[in-house]
Structure 1
Amino acid sequence: MRVVSLVPSLTEAVALTVPGTLVGATDWCSHPAGLDVARVGGSKYPDLDRVRALRPDLVLLNVEENRRADAEALRAAGVPVRVTYPRTVAGALTELGDLLAELGAPTEPAWLRAARRAWAAPPLLTPSRRAVVPVWRRPWVVLGGDTFAGDVLRRLGVVNAYDEHPERYPRPTLAELREQQPELAVLPDEPYTFTADDGPEAFPGVPCALLSGRHLTWYGPSLAEAPALLADQLSRPVLAG
């Protein structure tokens, strides 16, 4: 089978588990290191001519990473696609197992078994803290409910102030974020690159946890180490200034 992945976390999962199947990936697919496959542009705007030229038997996409128009264009051209949409850790683990089996993995890979064990009893933030979780600024965008990253944080003991919001990615103003009076601001380094110098200053007096965005949002081999790494980062918040 020839696979093109337009989802960085799935690229890593396929490359490590059934490497002979992967023939193409996006320019943003940075893991595993040294990945040597054809590049087909970005996740949001892939070069579909280059994708088709690779004669894939399957193209991997994700509802949040990729555009519906690209999935429809590939289908219209007769290219099989698989669109993933995990919104919980359990859902991600199931989708990964099913996908890798479909791609010919003879057994469940060791990293996926390790991820199942790691998430069976993840370390918890004690005491739990009510948090806002920006994923972008200019404008501010935060995690709402029914998101994979939101479930990751919930399992680690973070209470998302916007978990009951009707939108999955609300766009509050900074004043509205501060009105939530959070006990913690969770600032991942992707998709927006929050750093100690860019983010905490917006939340004076509020502890800010700087998290690995890859471990918060990717569903693939990084899931095995995510609970311990994120719990450690959550336990070491910083203050502006």
Structure 2
Amino acid sequence: MKIVSLVPSITEALFDLGLTENEVIGRTKFCIHPQDKVKNVKIIGGTKNIHIDTIRALKPDLILANKEENIKEQVEALMADFKVMVTNVETIEDNYYLLKNLGKLLGQEDRAQLFNLKIYDILHQAKLETKVKAAYLIWKNPYMTIGSDTFIHRILTEIGFENIFQKKTRYPIITTEDLAEAEVIILSSEPFPFKPKHIEELRAIYPDKKIIIVDGEAFSWYGTHIAKCEHYFRELISEIHAMQF
């Protein structure tokens, strides 16, 4: 089966489930894992600016897309000529079924189940002892955060944080004043690449707050990626426990 993936985390999952560059024949420029394998796969644009003619030339048997990450009109254009599977992952349960369905599709049910069990173990072992009120920022100018109907929110709450913006949905714009309730301000490494200088900017406003930068992939990449974050989450939880609130 020849597959084009329009979703970075799904591209990673395909390789983790045993596919090779012979089966995954197209990917976006943001599909960066696993590096040693994706480097040999044809780039078909970005997640939001797919090169449809390039995909047509590849003649895939299946195209894997995502409701949130890809543009509806572009995906529908591909549907006219190809079989397209559109995924939608907002919860841990959604992710479970994504891997289960991919495993069934690829004849890799056992491998998919092993990843699901690993993810379950990681998320149930990496737990804060007490809830910590957090604000998770994904963008700057303007500042944007995450609401309760996002995958990031599910991971955040699963490991013991309380999202102070849980009453909001999707990715709302906020101001620095809205961060007052947070015990810890979490800056994600993606999609906006927050750096130490951005910590200092917020510290000028909130000198007593805990402000950290986290690996955005650990919180936002669904599929198999979380199964590789056991050490990262353990270290993060230890870092939070060492803070004085």
Same fold (TM over 0.5): yes
Q: Check whether the contact 1:124–1:157 (CA below 8 A) recurs between aligned residues.
A: yes
Letter in 2 for 1:183: E
CA distance in 2, matches of 1:134, 1:145: 14
Decide which of 46, 63, 67 is 2:67's aligned counterpart. Answer: 63
Following superposition, the deviation at residue 200 of structure 1 comes to 4.9
| Corresponding residue of 1:9 | 9
Following superposition, the deviation at residue 228 of structure 1 comes to 4.4
Q: CA RMSD in A?
A: 2.0
Decide which of 104, 119, 125 is 1:115's aligned counterpart. Answer: 119
CA distance in 2, matches of 1:48, 1:73: 8
**TM-score, L = length of structure 2:** 0.88
Runs of 4+ in 1 over 4 A off after TM superposition: none
Question: For the structure 1 residues 169 and 189, does the alpha-carbon distance in structure 2 shift closer, same or farther, using more than 3 Å as the test?
Answer: same
Which structure dedicates a bigger proportion of its chain to helix? 2
Q: Check whether the contact 2:89–2:151 (CA below 8 A) recurs between aligned residues.
A: yes
Decide which of 26, 29, 32 is 2:31's aligned counterpart. Answer: 29
Following superposition, the deviation at residue 55 of structure 1 comes to 0.7
Q: Check whether the contact 2:126–2:237 (CA below 8 A) recurs between aligned residues.
A: no
Aligned length in residues: 234
Give structure 1 stretches of 5+ with no counterpart: none
CA distance in 1, matches of 2:212, 2:94: 26
Decide which of 78, 82, 88 is 1:85's aligned counterpart. Answer: 88
Q: Check whether the contact 2:126–2:233 (CA below 8 A) recurs between aligned residues.
A: no
Following superposition, the deviation at residue 234 of structure 1 comes to 4.6
Q: What does the per-residue CA deviation read over 1:204-231, in whole Å, with 9 as the maximum and x for residues that have no partner?
A: 2210232111111001222113354134
Give structure 2 stretches of 5+ with no counterpart: none
CA distance in 2, matches of 1:227, 1:91: 20
Question: For the structure 1 residues 65 and 200, does the alpha-carbon distance in structure 2 shift closer, same or farther, using more than 3 Å as the test?
Answer: farther
CA distance in 2, matches of 1:90, 1:202: 35
Following superposition, the deviation at residue 188 of structure 1 comes to 1.4
| Corresponding residue of 2:146 | 143
Question: For the structure 1 residues 112 and 198, does the alpha-carbon distance in structure 2 shift closer, same or farther, using more than 3 Å as the test?
Answer: same
CA distance in 2, matches of 1:145, 1:12: 25
Q: Check whether the contact 1:212–1:230 (CA below 8 A) recurs between aligned residues.
A: no
Does the alignment pair 1:51 with 2:59?
A: no
Q: Check whether the contact 1:59–1:79 (CA below 8 A) recurs between aligned residues.
A: yes
Following superposition, the deviation at residue 106 of structure 1 comes to 5.3
Q: What does the per-residue CA deviation read over 1:37-61, in whole Å, with 9 as the maximum and x for residues that have no partner?
A: 1111111101111111111111111
CA distance in 2, matches of 1:216, 1:231: 14
Q: Check whether the contact 1:24–1:40 (CA below 8 A) recurs between aligned residues.
A: yes
Query: 1:129-140 maps to which residues of 2 (within 5 A)?
Result: 129-140=132-143
Following superposition, the deviation at residue 196 of structure 1 comes to 2.2
| Corresponding residue of 1:40 | 44
**TM-score, L = length of structure 1:** 0.89
CA distance in 2, matches of 1:88, 1:106: 20
CA distance in 1, matches of 2:192, 2:233: 17
Letter in 1 for 2:189: D
CA distance in 2, matches of 1:33, 1:8: 12
